Structure 1
Amino acid sequence: MTDTQIAIHTHHTLANIAPGDWDACACPEASDGGRPIDPFTTHRFLLALENSASVGERTGWQPHYLTLQADGQIVAVAPVYGKSHSQGEYVFDHSWADAYERAGGRYYPKLQLAVPFTPVTGRRLLTKPGYETIGRAGLVQGMVQIAAENGLSSAHVTFCTEEEAHAGVQMGLLHRIGQQFHWANQGYDNFDSFLDHLSSRKRKQIRRERKQAQGFGGEILTLTGDDIRPGHWDMFWEFYQDTGARKWGRPYLSRAFFDEIHDTMRDDLLLVLAVRDDHPVAGALNVIGRETLFGRYWGALEHHPCLHFELCYYQAIDFAIANGLQGVEAGAQGEHKLARGYLPVTTHSLHWIAEPGFRDAVEQFLTAEKEAVEGDINILTSYGPFRKTIIEEGD
């Protein structure tokens, strides 16, 4: 493989890359007809973002997809975007941008190798099996070359896997860690089986929350595939707009995005709705992966105690157990998830900084931040809701 001739190309629209070529790198495990491990790097998801104008002109996410050719075929791809801001990334570098610009530099535009608006860990340097080494190296080289040739301040690979993070460090990139809260299926038979593993106090709390939420005056529906109707998206759009306006000032996704994923991905979607008198009052959207259920968006038109916990966390656990999934990832941040069985895990990102002095400063910051994050994870894990098993000495 070391003598293989490679060629790297940049594409400003995913429509120029055949779905089969992209997905052979992004989700080769799905060639058997099953679900992809990471639905968010599939051709259909990324194209939905583009076709719906959620990315592209005037969004601050300008596509520059990379493909790497070797042996006469595309063997590696990556979703790369030119960014004019740091919104929708969930690995926050606003302080870096502020420091760089106060020192007289220009932080934006920058390059972002990521899935827009999606704080989900997965492969970002997407390669066909057997091309991991050459593919990763070529994609990183291509990303850095684009940034350097265009005088950009930096390039970032966010929510990559731990394995990719280690490979990136070997290539000279800076490594950053963060944390999220994920639920792991320990072979539970049902929700009560999961509760049996919690402390008595947490078990009672969750049962009380579920009872309170389910008493909101209506019913809770879980819909997937053809049970999701086009009209459901009009309802969900209201929820999403409300949440987006409160969190980000404006929603990241356009209304057309939900029509796009209805057409191309509804078998991979789980829509949970709280409905009263045929009118939804709250909803949560999940994406179903091969091994994991990914909680993505939530919103409500009315406030009901604990309904957020029920729709976003407990219904997700119910679905994961019933469908044999290994876990639930319920999005970024949120220490309140800890009491509900979601434990802290480490996330990873990689960073290339052009200016040597600024790179050194960022590296020092990341070293200190890593120690703090690891300490937080250890402390939070010790406060988890699970029963402590005490083994008496001599037993």
Structure 2
Amino acid sequence: MPIQILDSLTALPAQAWDALLPEAQPFLRHAFLASLEESGSVGGRSGWRPAHRLLIDAQGVLLAALPAYCKSHSYGEYVFDHGWADACRRAGIAYYPKLLGAVPFSPVRGPRLLGLPKAAGALLDELVAGLADEGLSGVHINFTDPLADSLLHGRAGWLERLGCQFHWHNRGYRDFQDFLDSLASRKRKQLRKEREQVAGQGIEFDWRAGHQLSEAEWDFVYACYANTYHVRGQLPYLTRSFFSLLAERMPESIRVVLALQGSRPVAMAFSLVDGETFYGRYWGCLAEFDRLHFETCFYQGMDYAIAYGLRRFDAGAQGEHKLIRGFEPSITRSWHYLSHPGLRTAVAQFLDEERDGIRAYAEEAQELLPYRQA
């Protein structure tokens, strides 16, 4: 069965796409990905051209899918291959365009190869076979779940890459103090002092679900989000309309906490939730306040996870500063198929060494966690 390429999810009924999802995670839902497209956050001149791969049988039944984008750069991926692209440029090898299976701008693990394993495997094989005809240098699938890992492991030509994030786990804590009690004394005092510093500046917090924010409040959320890019001289990935579209289509998954000084909002953190995980995504402030970032992005999310019985807090990529706040190292995986044999050999050697380094880094980080020793 040949693969079909879909340049807009709006051409596919939401129920057909969502029926392939094995879990309730919000990032792969038709509503989320279609909102990225319709808001102009992907497509156009963004360098993210939607090119979703579908495997459909003779009766028109969707059997498998890969959310995919034709990329003309490597920004917004959080699995960094700029060095590979630079090496190709120096050697006269075309690295772009490439095909990326991922959730744009979201370094969160989850399903990528949607559908039953046999159908997803068939999609992979057809996908690789058609790269040359499409002028693509390779395929990259980022932040995979165990199902995709099992399909890709040992598959001819595919290279495994490891990464490390930091996630917080709710071990049935009664409240934040119960979590603090699990820490070594010095770290417990540090976290308590940070929270007291924020409270001492007269800052309080107001939690909202997606349907509880007005358009004016969404304007504020977006201004904060965009400011985190502007201060670094960059343009934000997401457009303003993305937030309104998402609030309209999946408000039950959205959580926004507003930091208020008096009645004036000064900062925000935007997150998504499912049945067991709190996903911290975006934060921003319009003025500087001591320790406000830690409180808004981490401690407020931990409070929320405890209060609502969520088991895990995924706060996104990078951030060793999360380690001393109880976020534990977690290995992530991505997979890469590179058509050029010389490039594939060189990257394979690099990844062999990098994997050893990532595992050693995660083991070292585990030793630095602030929890009391048993």
Calculate the TM-score normalised by the size of structure 2.
Answer: 0.96
1:26 to 21, 29, 33: 21
Partners of 1:307 and 1:158 in 2: how far apart?
31
Shift of 1:247: 4.7
Query: Residue 67 of structure 1 aligns with which residue?
Result: 54
Counterpart Cα distance in 2 of 1:276 and 1:79? 41
Partner-residue secondary structure (3-state), 1:226? helix
SS of the equivalent of 1:189 reads coil
CA distance in 1, matches of 2:282, 2:136: 32
Q: Which runs of 5+ in 1 are unaligned?
A: 1-5, 30-35, 390-395
* One-letter code aligned to 1:8: I
Find the counterpart in structure 2 of residue 33 from structure 1: none
Query: 2:203, 2:306 → 1: CA distance?
Result: 24
Can you give the 5+ residue segments of structure 2 that lack an aligned partner in the other structure?
none
Deviation at 1:316, TM superposition (A): 0.6
- Deviation digits for residues 333-358 of structure 1, max 9, x if unmatched? 00000011101100000000001111
**8 A contact 1:110–1:147 mirrored in 2:** no
Aligned AA for 1:294? Y
Q: In structure 1, what is the Cα distance between the partners aligned to 2:354 and 2:162?
A: 8
Aligned in 2, Cα 1:297/1:213: closer, same or farther, shift over 3 Å? same
* Aligned residues: CA RMSD: 1.4
Matched pairs, number: 372
Amino acid at match of 2:14: P
Distance change >3 Å, CA 209–CA 301, structure 1 → 2: same
Q: Distance in 2 between matches of 1:123 and 1:278?
A: 41
Q: C-alpha distance in 2, partners of 1:13/1:48? A: 11
**Secondary structure at 2:315 match in 1:** strand
Q: Deviation at 1:71?
A: 7.4
The answer to whether the aligner puts 1:136 opposite 2:132 as a matched pair is no
Alpha-carbon distance between aligned partners in 2 of 1:118 and 1:247, rounded to the nearest angstrom: 19
Does the alignment pair 1:96 with 2:84? Answer: yes
Deviates more, 1:13-22 or 1:185-194: 185-194
CA-CA distance at 1:167 after TM superposition: 1.9
Match of 2:168 in 1: 183
Q: Which residue of 1 aligns with 2:104?
A: 116
1:7 Cα shift? 4.5
Residue in structure 2 matched with residue 291 of structure 1 by the alignment: 276
Equivalent position SS for 2:316: strand
Give 1:267 shift.
Answer: 1.4
Match of 2:155 among 168, 171, 174: 171
Distance in 1 (alpha carbons) for counterparts of 2:285 and 2:164:
26
Cα distance in 1, alignment partners of residues 194 and 264 from structure 2: 23
Alpha-carbon contact 2:52-2:67 (below 8 Å) kept: yes
- State which of 278, 302, 305 in structure 1 corresponds to 2:290: 305
Find the aligned partners of 1:149 and 1:67 in 2 and give their Cα distance.
17
| CA deviation after TM superposition for structure 1 residue 146, in Å | 3.8
TM-superposed CA distance for 1:141, in Å, is 2.2
Out of 186, 201, 204, which is 1:216 matched to? 201
SS at match of 2:64: strand
Once the two structures are superposed, residues 314-373 of structure 1 have per-residue CA deviations (whole angstroms, 9 ceiling, x without a partner) of 111111111111100001000000011101100000000001111000000000000000
Asked whether 1:341 is paired with 2:326, we answer: yes
Would you say 1:242 and 2:200 are equivalent positions? Answer: no
Which residue is 2:245 aligned to?
A: 260
**1:248, distance to aligned residue in structure 2 (A):** 6.8
1:53 aligns with 2:40: yes
- Runs of 4+ residues over 6 Å off in structure 1: none
| Percentage identity across paired residues of the two chains | 43
Q: Is the 8 A contact 2:65 2:120 kept in 1?
A: no
Residue of structure 2 equivalent to 1:15: 10
Asked whether the equivalents of residues 214 and 307 of structure 1 are also in contact (C-alpha less than 8 Å), the reply is: no
Counterpart for residue 188 of structure 2:
203
Deviation digits for residues 59-107 of structure 1 (CA, Å, limit 9, x no counterpart): 1000011221247321222111000000000000000000111011111
TM-score, length of structure 1 as denominator length: 0.91
User: Does the 8 A contact of 1:157 with 1:351 survive in 2?
Assistant: yes
